[in-house]
Amino acid sequence: MSAAVVLMAYGSPERLEDVPLYYADIRGGRPIAQDHLDDLVARYRSLGVEDHNPLNAVTEETRATLERELGLPVFTGMKHWSPRIKDAAERALAAGADVVVGLVLAPHYSRLSIAGYREQLEEALDARAELRMIESWHDFEPFVDVLAARVRGTAAHVVFTAHSLPARILDEGDPYQEQLFETARLVAEAADVDDWSFSYQSESPTGEPWLGPDILDHLAALHAQGVRDVLVCPVGFVSDHLEIRWDLDVEAQERAHELGMTVQRIDMPNADPEFIRALAALVEQEADVRAPR
């Protein structure tokens, strides 16, 4: 057996001029409101994305470190930007892989997220190699420990967050919310934190109801209950995404300032060696692949 990993991520535009095409890819052919596009360009610009996007450098560092840790080839494939998932699949096949492990840099399963990554990878491989897809890793102990280490000992109220999704997923029996709550509970337990809650973030203006409460409303509700210090622990993201650096570091900070609260957030796992060791253990245990000796 010769194995390779296709490490999948949402994708982020490398240059500011890429944003319209990137947004079109996310919208998948549905109409785009010019003001939403302008707003998105402005958010990337405010984070310093002009000719280079630091998030893509983080993803590359994650890939390279995982490859070293595993001793197996790892190829990056993005859902909404390049290199595409199909390019990564071709590279894995060209490297001689007959087993391809699909791992998404998002720990929780939803039909609206992970299923799409799987579909793209499955289609690209076209049965030319065995696909071992890791569908979720929300309760994988080494990952829980990485987050627990970041909140342990805090005196602040901990708010666990994740990307919101359209609320209709609950009627469709999607496991997303259940898995998110499970991660939050496990991290709180491992860190010995009693004072915590959960909220969503990064809802999109698509015209239908999304899961809540949104972090901005949640901060106001916590303030009304007398909470003044908050530590945000995103559990649904593992890198310094736009959602972290804008939605939390700018928008939630502004709301906290208005309310007279302090809001801090944990450092994201990014390419932290302990996190990479957790990903390597996940690949070895869940997909049952190991580097040849």
- 204 vs 253, which CB is nearer to ligand FEC? 204
In the set 6, 70, 74, 106, which binds ligand FEC (CB under 6 A)?
Answer: 106
Q: Are strands 196-201 and 157-163 parallel, antiparallel or unpaired?
A: parallel
Partnered with residue 130 across adjacent β-strands are 99
Q: Residue 236 interacts with ligand FEC (CB under 6 A)?
A: yes
Number of other residues whose CB lies within 10 A of the CB of residue 269: 22
- 27 vs 128, which CB is nearer to ligand FEC? 27
In the set 46, 206, 262, 264, which binds ligand FEC (CB under 6 A)?
Answer: 206
CB of 28 to ligand FEC, least distance (A): 7
Q: Residue 241 interacts with ligand FEC (CB under 6 A)?
A: yes
In the set 18, 24, 25, 27, which binds ligand FEC (CB under 6 A)?
Answer: 27
CB of 241 to ligand FEC, least distance (A): 3
Task: Choose one: 22-30, 128-136, 222-230, 277-285; the region binding ligand FEC (CB under 6 A).
Answer: 22-30
Containing H/E element for 262? Answer: strand 262-265
| 27 in Cβ contact with 123 (< 8 Å) | no
Nearest CA-CA partner of 261 in 220, 232, 214: 220
Task: Choose one: 110-118, 153-161, 183-191, 256-264; the region binding ligand FEC (CB under 6 A).
Answer: 110-118
Strands (E), 105-256: 130-134, 157-163, 196-201, 229-234
Provide the angle, in degrees to the nearest 10, between the axes of the packed helices 54-70 and 273-286.
60
- 2 vs 204, which CB is nearer to ligand FEC? 204
Burial of 293 (0-12, 13-18, 19+ CB in 10 A): exposed
CA dihedral sign, ordered 254, 260, 264, 265: negative
Q: Pattern of binders to ligand FEC over 143-182, x per CB under 6 A?
A: --------------------x-x-----------------
- 65 vs 120, which CB is nearer to ligand FEC? 120
Tokens of 200: 């969503």
In the set 4, 40, 169, 266, which binds ligand FEC (CB under 6 A)?
Answer: 40
The dihedral over CA atoms of 200, 205, 208, 210, expressed in degrees to the nearest 10, equals: 0
Cβ-Cβ contacts under 8 Å for 224 (sequence gap 6 or more): none
Q: Which residues bind ligand FEC (CB under 6 A)?
A: 10, 12, 23, 26-27, 40, 55, 106, 110, 112-113, 163, 165, 204, 206, 236, 241-243
